[in-house]
Structure formats: C-alpha cells, structure tokens
C-alpha cells in the first residue's frame, strides 16, 4: 500500500466511523423529550391502567422501539401492541422493563464506542443509561438488593473515574450481568 493509499484509507475510515456514530443517534434525536421521560410516563400509565394514554405515548417512543428491535432482534413493538390490544397490564409492564433494559444496553454500547473519542461523551451516555436504570431499580431491588447496589456503584464509577474503552466495556458488562442476575426474564 502506498503512502497516498494509506492516507485515503485512513480518511475514509475516519469519515465512516464518525458518520456511523452520528447515525446511531438519529432515532433518539427525533424524540420530543428524552427517552427515559417517555418510559417513565409509559410505566405510570401502565400502573394506572390508562391504556389509551399509554397507546399515545407509545407512538412517541416508536423510533427508539423500532431501533431497539432492529439492533437486538427483540419484538418489543409487537408485544406492546398485543398487550395494548388486550389491556394486559402484566405483559405491558414486562415488555416495558425489557425495552428499558435494552435501551440501557444500547446507550452503554454507544458510550463504549464514544469512549474512543471522548470520555465525556462516554460518561454522558452512561448517565443516560443510569436514568433508564432508575426506572427499573425498584424491580431489581425487589428481586436482588445486592444487584441493585452493585449496578448503582458501577454507574457511579463510570461517572467519576476516567477510563479506557476497555474500562467502559467492563462496566457495561458488569451492569448487564447484574441485571440478568436480578431479572433473568429480561433476556438481554
């Protein structure tokens, strides 16, 4: 490979890399409010059995739901639609827990990738994942309080400790492991 070919390859790779990290956010950028706020409203509507309002809120969340389904091969959208059609509070609640967990996983993966560019960007994504986690914390705590504390501590470490991409990856893996320990039905 000549020097000119090397530089062209490097420029192309960097361009694709920055374009792909930008594309990873388009489905989030289209939301009128942060995803965790939408999920909070959806959980509230589910617990109140206000399925009409939940259905409207779900429409707002669809860009993220469809992206999560595509990225992780999940079937959140169809399970939510079935739960709504049947007014099945239990199915909706489990589906929302899975959605929020997969959104956490997505945000942490984006954070790990961002850590190659900037620790601040990585920390910001982990903070957003933590906001998702706070919506699930009571469910985790009810099943396994030590997992809840470990997850909270790991998020705290990600926010306060400088680290390499491998450090962020380990924290994401540790959080996912503790989530699966407490809530194995989520199938992350």
- For 22-73, how does the pLDDT look when each residue is reduced to its tens digit (9 = 90+)? 435 788 888 899 999 999 999 999 999 999 999 999 999 999 999 999 999 9
Whether 76 is in a domain gets the answer yes
How open is the CA angle 179-160-150, to the nearest 5 degrees?
25
pTM: 0.85
Distance separating alpha carbons of residues 150 and 161, to the nearest angstrom: 16
Report yes or no: 162 and 106 within 8 Å, Cβ to Cβ: no
Whether 3 is in a domain gets the answer no
Ranges assigned E (strand) in 83-153: none
Whether 77 is in a domain gets the answer yes
Distance separating alpha carbons of residues 158 and 177, to the nearest angstrom: 16
Report the number of distinct structural domains present in the chain: 1
Whether 120 is in a domain gets the answer yes
- Residues 127-155: pLDDT tens digits? 999 999 999 999 999 999 999 999 999 99
Whether 16 is in a domain gets the answer no
- Residues 150-176: pLDDT tens digits? 999 999 999 988 688 999 999 999 999
Query: Which domain, by its residues, includes 46?
Result: 33-186
Report yes or no: 159 and 123 within 8 Å, Cβ to Cβ: yes
Whether 125 is in a domain gets the answer yes
Whether 49 is in a domain gets the answer yes
């Amino acid at each position: 490979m000549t020097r000119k070919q090397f530089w062209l390859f490097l420029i192309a790779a960097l361009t694709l890399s920055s374009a792909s990290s930008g594309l990873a956010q388009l489905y989030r950028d289209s939301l009128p409010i942060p995803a965790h706020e939408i999920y909070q409203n959806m959980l509230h509507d589910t617990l109140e059995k206000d399925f009409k309002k939940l259905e409207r809120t779900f429409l707002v969340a669809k860009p993220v739901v469809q992206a999560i389904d595509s990225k992780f091969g999940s079937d959140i959208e169809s399970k939510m639609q079935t739960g709504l059609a049947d007014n099945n509070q239990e199915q909706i609640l489990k589906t929302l827990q899975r959605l929020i967990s997969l959104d956490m996983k997505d945000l942490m993966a984006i954070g790990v990738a961002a850590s190659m560019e900037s620790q601040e960007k990585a920390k910001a994504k982990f903070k957003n994942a933590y906001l998702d986690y706070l919506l699930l914390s009571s469910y985790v705590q009810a099943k396994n309080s030590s997992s809840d504390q470990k997850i909270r501590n790991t998020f705290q470490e990600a926010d306060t400790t400088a680290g390499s991409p491998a450090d962020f990856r380990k924290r994401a893996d540790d959080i996912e492991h503790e989530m699966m320990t407490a809530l194995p039905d989520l199938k992350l």
